Structure 1
Amino acid sequence: MLPSTSWVTAEGSRRREKQPEVSCSMSVSCTVEGSHRYVLAGYSQAKGMGVGKFLSSEVFSVGGLRWAIHFYPDGLGPEDNGGYVSLFVTLVTGEPDCRALFDLAMTDQRGKVRYKRDTISSRFEPVNLKGNGWSWGSIRFIKKAALERSNFLQNDSLFFECAISVVKTRTVTPIQWSIPVPTSDLGRSLGELLRTEMGSDIVFVVAGESFKAHKLILAARSPVFRAQFFGGIGDPNLDKVDVEEIEPPVFKAMLQFIYSDGFPDVQELAMSIPMCNPTIFLRHLLAAADRYWLDRLKRFCELKLSEEITEDTVADNLALAERHRCPGLKAAGLEFIDRCLKGGCSCLSVRS
């Protein structure tokens, strides 16, 4: 049995070894900038609308907040500004207690010459916003008489610009260390298995050309291959399959996609088939993908065919879409025909 003094000493030592927990964080502030140009056409019709009434720009967004420029042709209030126009920028919707910097000015038609009051420029010190409906600007922006004599009024139009910088602050916990994690190379590794034929256990014969592959990988990617090799009527000992009605380059492209999950180089593969072009190759590849239930590959082909529809390809694409249940390709083809007919195209011919 240990003496009590030894036990106390051990406890004291254990308490001294316990280190305090230390944590840290930091706040990061940055600005999100944006601007809006507002044109007021028909100033002569706007003046006289009444004190306190304003014309508004379209609502625009900066820093996740929504703003509008308000111009008062007869001033904001009747007390001391009846002879002035007023100009404000208004927070239409946003968060309370956020901050922003502003620069609100009137410009000439080209935006080169600017007129502004010092009271409506806050480019160096953020202004605290009080919530929706908060406005910032000048009640006495410029005398109406001076405005109407100035070069800023051109063709009965006025031009305003408002630049806004919204201050964003967030609290973050600094990363103490960084360990780079390589991107996945699974597709490249499986592609090497296909290229080297290492461990292959099945041979496909396509128009006299042989392709070696791996049944487990094929079964994992295609329900058709899964049923063929491991289903109730499948043969797991099968080591050779004759494939009909598919060109060898098309079958090769399909295998490349199965292994790498990357879309193959259609341009290069199409050149290996006589009288073939990328569009024709894509149609054959889509048919093969549909045959083996490779939905992702089928959608890739459908997308690329939809992006390159012409008057020469739309009929064949629509027939392909009907045959292989491609609603996106069908919709794109019908939309193309509709645009052609509305545009008066006379050379469009669609086979039934």
Structure 2
Amino acid sequence: MFGFVQFIRKKDLEESSAYLKDDTFSVRCDIKKVYTETITALSAGIGIGMAPPDDVIQHLGQLLSTGDGADVTFEVGEEMIPAHRCMLAARSPVFRAELLGPMKEKPGACIRIDGIEAKVFKAMLHFVYTGSLPHIDVGDAMAMAQHLLVLADRYHLGRLKLICEDILHRYIDTSTVATTLTLAEQHGCGALKDACLKFLASWGNFKALMTTDGFEHLTRSCPSLLKDLAANLDTEH
């Protein structure tokens, strides 16, 4: 009854001088706050707020680098790269189907990965284990982002895909826009595609694009983009 039995009737309130004085009455509310400590803090023997930063990411990175307990191996180029199927399956639905699904590879299996460099595949694995990218030289950033974008799309790593889009966005110029626009179209990167089209809305940028080898690659790989480019120019001019 949600406390209804504790209520006082209006008639009883009005007739009771103990509660009602000069047509007013007071209500007192007692609040009790219970202080608790987390089990983690108690077990560590330290006060709340004094716990050191969690180093689980560092430990997972070490697990990848050492290969301890690995139960699957990837053959990429001429390199054999060990990994842990449960970790991969937890992070990627594609890996989950490949490694834990009905058609899963047997424990200790060696899986061949074609069309990608070993350093790129290792960078993707580093992201899978740690949620961040390894150190990449500035001069290699764009090429690495291009290849990682393809892998991120293949293995449904949404956050990695967005990171790669952001990197490629920063490098948009007349020499890169054709390749970037092609990748954006092929891998469903709407925001990156829009950024390229915005850059090419300038007639000067578009003319510079047409003189590059990338323009031929773009028209051959994604001929449907020509219609978007034409509409883009018509909108601006």
TM-score higher than 0.5 here? yes
CA distance in 1, matches of 2:83, 2:207: 50
The equivalent of 1:324 in structure 2 is: 187
Give the number of the structure with larger relative contact order, counting CA–CA contacts within 8 Å between residues 6 or more apart. 1
The one-letter amino acid paired with 1:196 is T
Q: Which residue number in structure 1 is paired with residue 110 of structure 2?
A: 240
Rg bigger for which structure?
1
Work out which of the residue numbers 212, 215, 218 in structure 1 matches 2:88.
Answer: 218
Is 1:348 paired with 2:229? no
Evaluate the alpha carbon distance shift between residue 313 and residue 178 of structure 1 in structure 2; reply closer, same or farther with a 3 A threshold.
Answer: same
Q: 1:178 & 1:213 partners in 2: Cα distance?
A: 36
Q: Does 1:298 align with 2:161?
A: yes
1:203 match: 73
Match of 1:307 in 2: 170
**Distance (Å, rounded) in 1 between the aligned partners of 2:205 and 2:190:** 26
Deviation at 1:183, TM superposition (A): 2.2
* Aligned CA distance change for structure 1 residues 179 and 336 (closer, same or farther; 3 Å): same
CA distance in 2, matches of 1:332, 1:22: 56
Shift of 1:237: 2.8
Contact 1:250 1:284 in 2 (8 A): yes
State the Cα distance separating 1:345 from its structure 2 match: 7.0
Q: How many residues align?
A: 170
1:311 shift after superposition: 0.8
User: For 2:181, what is the secondary structure of its paired residue?
Assistant: helix
SS, match of residue 266 in structure 1: coil
3-state SS, counterpart of residue 348 of structure 1: helix
2:90 is the alignment partner of 1:229: no
How far off is 1:179 after superposition?
A: 3.3
Structural RMSD (CA):
2.3
Structure 2 residue 129 is the aligned partner of structure 1 residue 259: yes
State the Cα distance separating 1:236 from its structure 2 match: 4.3
CA contact (8 A) 1:222 1:292 kept: yes
Gaps of 5+ in 1: 1-20, 24-176, 271-276
Distance 1:223 1:254 in 2: 15
**Equivalent position amino acid for 2:172 in 1:** I
CA contact (8 A) 2:73 2:108 kept: no
Looking at structure 1, the residues matched to 160 and 129 of structure 2 have their Cα atoms a distance apart, in angstroms, of 12
How much does 1:22 deviate? 11
Structure 1 pair 322/260, CA: closer, same or farther in 2 (3 Å)? same
- State the distance in 1 between where 2:195 and 2:72 align: 39
Q: Which amino acid aligns with 1:347?
A: A
Question: Cα offset for 1:344?
Answer: 7.2
Q: Deviations over 1:217-253 (max 9, x none)?
A: 0111111111011112223435211111111110010
Post-superposition Cα deviations, 1:260-311, rounded to whole Å, max 9, x if no partner, equal 101222327x7xxxxxx42122111110111111111111101110122111
Q: What letter corresponds to residue 296 of structure 1 in structure 2? A: R
Distance between the aligned counterparts of 1:284 and 1:179, measured in 2?
Answer: 42
Q: Deviations over 1:80-125 (max 9, x none)?
A: xxxxxxxxxxxxxxxxxxxxxxxxxxxxxxxxxxxxxxxxxxxxxx
- Candidates 259, 276, 282, aligned match of 2:145: 282
Matches within 5 A, 1:41-60: none
Unpaired runs of 5+ in structure 2?
1-30, 34-46, 220-237
Give, in whole Å, the separation in 2 of the partners of 1:226 and 1:289. Answer: 15
SS state at 2:208 partner: coil
1:51-74 deviation per Cα after TM superposition (whole angstroms, max 9, x unaligned): xxxxxxxxxxxxxxxxxxxxxxxx
Q: Distance in 2 between matches of 1:204 and 1:184?
A: 30
Aligned-partner SS, 1:293: coil
- What is the rounded CA distance, in whole Å, between the counterparts of 2:190 and 2:172 in structure 1? 15
Q: Could you tell me how far 1:195 is from its partner in structure 2?
A: 0.9
- Contact persistence 1:229–1:238 (CA under 8 A): no
Mark the CA change 1:239 to 1:312 in structure 2 (over 3 Å): closer, same or farther: same
Change (3 A) 1:242 1:22: closer
Residue 165 of structure 2 contacts residue 192 of structure 2 at CA under 8 Å; is this kept in 1?
yes
* Structure-1 separation of matches of 2:206 and 2:179: 18
Which one-letter code corresponds to 1:301 in the other structure?
A: C
Partner of 2:20: none
Task: Flag as ranges the 4+ runs of structure 1 deviating above 4 A.
Answer: 343-346
